[in-house]
Chain A
Amino acid sequence: MENKQLSFYEEARGNGISRKEFLKFCTIMAAWLGLETSGVGQIVKALETKPRLPVIWFHFQECTCCSESFIRASHPIVASIVLDKISLDYQETLMAASGVQAEDAYKTVMAKFPGEYIVMVEGSIPTENEAYCCIGGRSALQILKEAVANSKAVVAWGNCASAGCVQAASPNPTGAKPVHKVISGKPVINVQGCPPIADVMAGVVVHLLTFDRIPQLDGLGRPKAFYSRRVHDTCYRRANFDAGLFVEAFDDEGAKRGYCLYKMGCKGPVTYNSCGIIKWNDGISYPIQSGHPCIGCAEEGFWDNGPFYKHLPQIAGFGIETTADKIGVAVGLSALAGVTGHAVLTNIRKHREIANAPEAGSEIENPKEK
């Protein structure tokens, strides 16, 4: 590892990126982070002067889709600078080093930058039996706890690290838990999504670098800049939702007209993400734009709240395709049946009572005369 810490800007220039491209990148980031115009200057200054962030990037129980997403960030600066430099420190998938050298790299970061380095985590942590995920003979939990102890902050990439994702789906055989459930004492930024949008990931890194503090988070630990609105709130099909125009089948006329995908199971109304604005793959499209309902990938438990193509989730423990409405109708009908049975019984009783009542007539007392 070199002694002088180069800044992002210096690294970028060294990689053949022009000043114009660099400024463009800073402007985009400022826009996505929701900063004022002056924010651009702050980002430029930070990237020009501050040494890069020391980062340790772990892969636990995951599929690497977060890294895959990250290296496809729409602006090459993110990939070539942020990721190249990160890999110098420690990033299991992308680093050149392996074995002892790899271990050394990450120990060096911890020793050289205590209280400064950021721990970034991809994947969930098994707790049922820690042996389900081991690196270099140590369990994910041990490694994470040790690394987090002296870190500045923790970034949980994706649904796995933020909420457990598919590994934590019922019956969760490994006892997979997200980062914030197994560590304490450090701020955790949950960058949700399966995977998170590359530009959102870049935005979080730039924010950490520029402002030296963690971004504003929502109640579930997600950066507000990117997760304060539902996919539904920024969806271009929203007008069709309000108009009550719904796709009923993937090949019907509504689908061709671009109606709302709500009845095809769209989870946009319950999913907080930036898909409708930043979009994917260089801003080309996002699932709904391509005619597919949102599956809620940025939300806890989205695997267990399927099926993906039905609005109402099935209820666990009641068999496939059993929704609240089916159970409700069954219970409601039983109640009606019970009530009817009760009414019949009551009438039998009442008739007996009436039959036994003395025939009254002249002997009636008039209370007023009493």
Chain B
Amino acid sequence: MRIRSVPMREVQVWELPVRIYHWVNALCILSLVITGYTIGSPPAFMKGTEAYFNYWFGTVRFIHFVTAFVFFFNFLVRIYWGFAGNEFSRWYNFIPLKRCQWKEILTVIKVDVLQITNRQIDSIGHNSLASLIYFITFLIFLLQCLTGFGMYSAMSKAFLPHLFAWVVPFLGGDIHVRQLHHILMWGFILFSIIHIYLVFYHDYIERRGVTSSMIGGWKYIEEDVILRHENRTEECPKN
């Protein structure tokens, strides 16, 4: 039997809104990628029938649009929580404006990506590299909403999509909007592959219970890290 003795404390990192946001978001993206890909390349599984009896493609598009609305409002909730939530979910974590954030990004690359050193990463919430990647993902969310609702505005009389009608002339026409929307889908797929892997990786290496933190909200953090966090000298919003 191997037993480690590391003094750990539990820290609540993700409050309920962040966790709900996260899983609603993950489900929406799953649905949007599947329906979106189907819209782009519909399978040919019906022949010799008449349109009168069928509506499956319309249904796929309908699911795409309904999910899109959920995705959009869920995203707004997260942005709001970036101003109202705890220190780990605040907006300033995501934008590396401070020197110490960039320093941490370098360390994370050395430790986790290149695996050339074995230093401890001090951050309790997201580490700075993860935050930066999430920030880029949020921008992709935004772009996907802009292009999606931009296209949608042509087929809707509703108020919300019309706020995005300017996107189409801005990009020069629906051809370009649709192309961009399609390319961005691959951004989501790429992010998901790496993100899910990295969650498992961090759980495996750091043993802080990262995976379940997005379910229960709490992480195990080493006591010395918490101490350093509380007595941090450099005025840095993170760690």
Contact = CB atoms under 8 A, between A and B. Distances in A.
Interface of A: 163, 218-220, 229-230, 233, 239-246, 248, 253-254, 257, 262-263, 267, 269-272, 296, 299-302, 305, 311-313, 315, 324-325, 327-328, 331-332, 335-336, 339, 342-343, 345-346, 349-350, 354, 357, 359-361, 364-365, 367
Contact of B168 (A219, A335, A354, A365): A219
B183 A345 contact: no
Given A242-B61, A301-B176, 7 more contacts: A243-B49, A243-B54, A270-B177, A312-B182, A315-B183, A325-B186, A350-B205
A328 B193 contact: no
B212 to A, nearest CB: 19
A340 to B, nearest CB: 9
Interface string B50-69: 11111111101100000000
Interface in B56-92: 56-58, 60-61
Contacts of A239: 51-52
A246 B40 CA distance: 13
Contact of B165 (A219, A315, A345): A219
Contact of A243 (B41, B51, B177): B51
Contacts of A262: 42
Contact of B40 (A300, A311, A327, A345): A311
B46 interface: yes
A308 to B, nearest CB: 12
Interface string B117-147: 0100000000000000000000000000000
A324 B155 contact: no
15 contacts: A163-B172, A219-B170, A230-B174, A243-B53, A302-B175, A324-B183, A332-B189, A332-B190, A336-B193, A342-B115, A349-B115, A350-B204, A360-B2, A360-B4, A364-B3
Nearest to A270: B174
B173 A301 contact: yes
B179 interface: yes
B197 interface: yes
Nearest to B182: A324
Contact of B42 (A244, A296, A349, A359): A244
Interface residues of B, number: 55
Central interface residue in A230, A262, A269, A343, by most chain B CB within 10 Å: A269
A339 B189 CA distance: 14
Contacts, number: 155
Contacts of B97: none
B102 interface: no
A248 B44 contact: yes
A42 to B, nearest CB: 28
Contacts of B118: 349
Nearest to A230: B154
A301 B175 CA distance: 8
B40 A328 contact: no
Contact of A325 (B41, B54, B55): B41
A305 B175 contact: yes
Given A271-B174, A301-B176, A346-B115, A242 B44 contact: no
A332 B186 contact: yes
Contact of B51 (A220, A245, A339): A245
Contacts of B193: 332, 335-336, 339
Contacts of B23: none
B118 to A, nearest CB: 8
Given A328-B189, A360-B2, A361-B1, A218 B115 contact: no
7 smallest A-B Cβ distances: which pairs?
A: A219-B169, A328-B186, A244-B57, A270-B174, A243-B54, A242-B58, A239-B51
A320 B227 CA distance: 58
Nearest to A244: B57
A315 B175 CA distance: 12
Given A324-B186, A335-B194, A246 B44 contact: yes
A244 B174 contact: no
Contacts of B168: 219-220
B18 interface: no
B173 A220 contact: yes
Contacts of A269: 174, 178
Nearest to B180: A324
Given A331-B186, A335-B190, A346 B179 contact: no
Contact of B2 (A163, A272, A354): A354
Interface in B157-212: 165-166, 168-170, 172-179, 182-183, 185-186, 189-190, 193-194, 197, 201, 204-205
B5 A328 contact: no
Contacts of B183: 315, 324, 328
B102 to A, nearest CB: 23
A244 B58 CA distance: 7
Interface string B1-25: 1111101000000000000000000
Contacts of B176: 300-301, 305
B99 interface: no
Contacts of B44: 246, 248, 263
Contacts of A271: 174-175
Given A241-B57, A301-B172, A305-B179, A327 B186 contact: yes
A312 B174 contact: no
A300 B178 CA distance: 13
A345 B115 contact: yes
A282 B153 CA distance: 32
A127 B185 CA distance: 36
A269 B57 CA distance: 14
